Amino acid sequence: MPELPEVEIVRQSLDKKVKDKIILKVLVKNRNLRFKIHSGFKRHLNKKKIKKVDRFSKYLIIRFEDNTGFIIHLGMTGTIHLSNIKNKNSLTNTSFYHSPILPKKHNHVEIQFSKMKFIYNDPRRFGYFSIFHNPIELKKKFSHFGPEPFSKSFNMNYICNYFKKKEKNIKNFLLDQKFVSGIGNIYASEILFKCKIHPNKKAKNLTKYDCKKIFKYSKLVLKKAIKKGGSSIRDFQNINGETGNFQKNFNVYQRENLKCLKSKCNGIVKKKIISNRSSFFCNYCQK
C-alpha cells in the first residue's frame, strides 16, 4: 500500500497534468469498490474545472473551482493512469505498483478531458472515491485523523503528552492514523532506526529525547523519500515513467540478517512480527 511519500509523488504528477482542465465526461464501469461509488458521482464531476490536486495523509484531494471536489484513496492495488487520446501507447502510470502501461482489465472509472483521460485501475478494489460539497464537509471527513508529520500540530508537546501512560509500543503508534497521519510500515521501520528506538518499546517509557528524535526523523525520513521519488518496492513510477529510488536508501526495511549500516555498529538487522506487520530493526543500536 502506498504511504505518504508515494501519494505525494502521485499528487505532484496529477497536479501538473490535470490542473485547470475541464471534465467533459465521466464513465463509471464498476461502482463496487471498497465503498460503492456515490450514485451522483458523474453528475457531481460533470463540466467541473479542476483548481488543484491536494493531498492529506494517504488521500488525494481533487479540488474544483466551485470549492467542491472528490477524494481518492488508492487502497492496496489502486493505480491512476493518464492516457493521451492521440497516443495511447505512451506511459500512463502515476501510481504505486503495476505496469506503467494502461492495463486492459480492472479499469473502473474514466474521467475524460479534451486531450486525455484519467483512468482508475484497481484489481483488488480496496480503493475508493468520495465526493464533498464544501470545505467544511471535506474537513469533517478527516476529523478523526491525527496531524501529518509536516503539520505544525505535530510538535514536541503533542508527542510527549500523547505518549504519557500509554502501554502500546511505539511502532504501533507510528502506524496509528489517529496519532499521526500518513506513516505506514516501511517508513515506521526507517524512522525508528534513525531514532535508535526499538519498535517494541512502550510509548510510556520514551524519554523526552526519544520524543525529540521521533519529531525530527518523522519529517526527515519522509522528506528524503519524497525527494527520491518514493519507494519502488515493485514498480512505482510517476507520470513521466520515472521510478522511485528511496528503496536504495533503506537502512533496515527488507534487510533481514544483513549488517547494520551505522558505522561502528556490530548489529544485525532482525525481522519481527508486531501486530501482524513485519518490523525491521537493528538488534544492537535500537534500544
Sheet (strand 128-132) strand order: 50-56, 59-64, 69-73, 128-132
Instruction: Please state, in angstroms and rounded to a whole number, the distance separating the CA atoms of residues 230 and 32.
Output: 29
Those residues whose C-beta lies under 8 Å from the C-beta of residue 131, and which sit 6 or more positions away, are 38, 40, 41, 44, 68, 69, 70, 71
DSSP secondary structure code for residue 43 in this structure: H
C-alpha cell at 241: 515513467
Give the other-Cβ count within 10 Å of 73's Cβ: 20
Tell me the C-alpha distance between 35 and 51, whole Å. Answer: 26
Q: How far is CA 259 from CA 83, 117, 221, 256, 281, in A?
A: 44, 47, 20, 9, 11
Place of cell 502506524: 175
- In whole angstroms, give the CA distance from residue 279 to residue 253: 8
Which residues are part of the catalytic machinery?
Answer: 2-3, 58, 277
Residues 121, 231, 255: CA angle, nearest 5 degrees: 125
Contact 9, 244 (CB under 8 A): yes
Burial class (CB in 10 A: 0-12, 13-18, 19+), 249: middle
CA dihedral 168, 173, 175, 179 (to 10 degrees): 140
